[in-house]
């Protein structure tokens, strides 16, 4: 102290400050935060530490160009792949960034805290597997399941599939085998059930445990990147999501084929009471929030949004709207509500938004299309045209609903953030 004026805090070591920026970028980019919000946080943190950054992001490569006053720019290239979704890591990282930017946390302490964040574990196996089972059963109820035997099989299949996923995560460095083995198990369960249950029930047994494997945040983040003209990154995210869906389809159809069965052509029912539909949607949202390591205290928010969105979808369907229009209206509501709240609560938009609308994903059309295409391999000349037509119809329906959902979620997010940029 001199003359009553506090002494200025010592400037952070340059290398230590850059290491802090790198750690924050790594945690945000690889754990499901949107590219736009990741870049904003990194640039904001750099400014607080005395740096001026230009940031570019691609799959496997996150580049920081440090703009020096003398023109001798420095480039840092981080080898990062945005293949994970862990909300608690994103939330904790943004909290640390906020405190550094407001001057209430030093660089050394912030680095130590981010090192702890990087070591955070996903939710426990019991919670993960239990919610996978409950989420699959909730989707079955939305699909019209009422037979306790069907729900029991789906619960068991979802629970065992989640355990297999965790086991595969320990055995293989790549995340790709996880949906493959879980979907294969779902196919085996459906194949074994086909001898005692009707085809519409077998369809739900096959479909619902696979629906909880769909990589929605990657597809949504990829679409957001394309909307912001980050075409290489957006294309890579969408390709990754497409590969996961392909592996789910291969696993499901392989499991069915092991018992000499195909995916039933029909299944499910739209005749579900509104209250049952909403409560089941809330349970499905809770399941997806669990998959993405959302803290317990945060689950009510997306559950309430998902229930309301699903009510809008149900009412639109009751009024005679098409599946695509109903999905668009529901997702439009979710996008309007989730965008400002996700920014305020420091939650990844794609993970929260997708969790809120997961039950609207047209998985039945996607898996039927894949089944139709695989049957073409061994089809006779008389069987091939109907199979090809069915694949085209199922693929068109799936594409229409997915595009409607993407526009419904992304349009309000883009407009709201352009008109009212988040202030931190």
Q: Is 347 helix (H, G, I), strand (E, B) or coil?
A: coil
Rounded distance between C-alpha atoms, residue 366 and residue 396, angstroms: 9
**Residues paired with 75 in a beta bridge:** 65
Report pLDDT for 2: 42
Q: For residue 197, give the DSSP letter.
A: S
Highest mean pLDDT among 169-173, 325-329, 377-381: 325-329
Compute the average pLDDT of residues 192-218.
88
Report pLDDT for 268: 61
Rounded distance between C-alpha atoms, residue 73 and residue 66, angstroms: 6
| CA angle, residues 161, 166, 115, in degrees to nearest 5 | 150
| Chain segment 5-30, per-residue pLDDT in tens | 444 445 568 889 999 999 999 999 99
Q: Where are the domains of the chain?
A: 14-118, 125-419
- At residue 189 the predicted structure's pLDDT band, cuts being 50, 70 and 90, is very high
Lowest mean pLDDT among 257-271, 318-332, 394-408: 257-271
End-to-end CA distance of the chain: 31
Report pLDDT for 8: 44
CB 251 within 8 A of CB 187: yes
Report pLDDT for 423: 63
Residue percentage of the chain with pLDDT more than 70: 95
Q: Is the pLDDT of residue 388 over 90?
A: no
Return the closest-CA partner of residue 24 out of 97, 88, 91: 97
Q: Is the pLDDT of residue 103 over 70?
A: yes
CB 305 within 8 A of CB 331: no
Compute the average pLDDT of residues 369-385.
81
Compute the average pLDDT of residues 55-71.
87
- At residue 384 the predicted structure's pLDDT band, cuts being 50, 70 and 90, is confident
Report pLDDT for 12: 63
Phi-psi region of 346 (alpha: psi -120 to 50; beta: other; left: phi over 0): left
Tokens of 369: 């299309």
Kindly report the length of the chain: 424
Alpha helices, DSSP H, located in 172-299 = 177-193, 199-211, 216-227, 231-258, 274-291
CB 58 within 8 A of CB 234: no
Rounded distance between C-alpha atoms, residue 83 and residue 251, angstroms: 20
Residues sharing a CB contact under 8 Å with residue 235, sequence separation 6 or more, in sequence order: 222, 226
Lowest mean pLDDT among 4-13, 169-178, 248-257: 4-13
Q: Is the pLDDT of residue 89 over 70?
A: yes
What mean pLDDT value characterizes the chain?
88
Compute the average pLDDT of residues 205-225.
89
């Amino acid at each position: 102290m001199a003359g009553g004026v506090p002494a200025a805090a010592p400037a952070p070591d340059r290398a230590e400050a850059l290491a802090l920026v790198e750690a924050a970028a790594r945690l945000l980019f690889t754990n499901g935060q949107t590219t736009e919000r990741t870049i904003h946080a990194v640039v904001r943190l750099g400014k607080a530490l005395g740096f001026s950054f230009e940031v570019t992001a691609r799959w496997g490569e996150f580049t920081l160009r440090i703009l020096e006053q003398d023109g001798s720019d420095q480039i840092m290239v981080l080898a990062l792949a945005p293949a994970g979704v862990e909300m608690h890591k994103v939330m904790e990282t943004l909290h640390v960034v906020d405190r550094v930017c407001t001057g209430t946390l030093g660089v050394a302490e912030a680095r130590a805290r981010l090192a702890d964040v990087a070591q955070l574990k996903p939710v426990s196996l019991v919670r993960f597997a239990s919610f996978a089972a409950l989420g699959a059963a909730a989707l079955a109820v939305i699909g019209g399941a009422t037979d306790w035997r069907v729900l029991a099989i789906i619960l068991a299949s979802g629970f065992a599939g989640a355990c297999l996923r965790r086991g595969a995560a320990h055995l293989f460095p790549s995340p790709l085998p996880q949906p493959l083995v879980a979907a294969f198990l779902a196919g085996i369960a459906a194949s074994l059930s086909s001898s005692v249950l009707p085809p519409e029930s077998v369809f739900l047994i096959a479909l619902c445990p696979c629906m909880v494997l769909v990589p929605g945040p990657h597809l949504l983040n990829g679409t957001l990147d394309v909307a912001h003209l980050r075409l290489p990154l957006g294309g890579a995210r969408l390709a990754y999501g497409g590969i996961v869906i392909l592996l789910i389809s291969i696993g499901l159809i392989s499991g069915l084929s092991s018992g000499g069965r195909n995916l039933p052509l029909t299944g499910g029912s739209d005749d579900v009471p509104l209250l049952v539909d909403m409560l089941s949607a809330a349970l499905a949202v809770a399941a997806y929030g669990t998959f993405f390591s959302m803290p317990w205290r945060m689950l009510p928010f997306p559950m309430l949004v998902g229930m309301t969105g699903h009510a809008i979808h149900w009412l639109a369907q009751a009024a005679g709207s098409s599946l695509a229009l109903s999905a668009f209206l529901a997702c439009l509501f979710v996008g309007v509500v989730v965008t400002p709240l996700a920014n305020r609560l420091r939650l990844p938009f794609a993970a929260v938004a997708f969790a809120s609308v997961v039950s609207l994903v047209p998985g039945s059309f996607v898996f039927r299309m894949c089944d139709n295409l695989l049957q073409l391999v061994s089809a006779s000349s008389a069987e091939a045209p109907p199979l090809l037509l069915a694949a085209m119809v199922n693929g068109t329906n799936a594409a229409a609903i997915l595009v409607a959902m993407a526009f419904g979620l992304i349009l309000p997010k883009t407009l709201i953030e352009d008109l009212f940029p988040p202030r931190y």
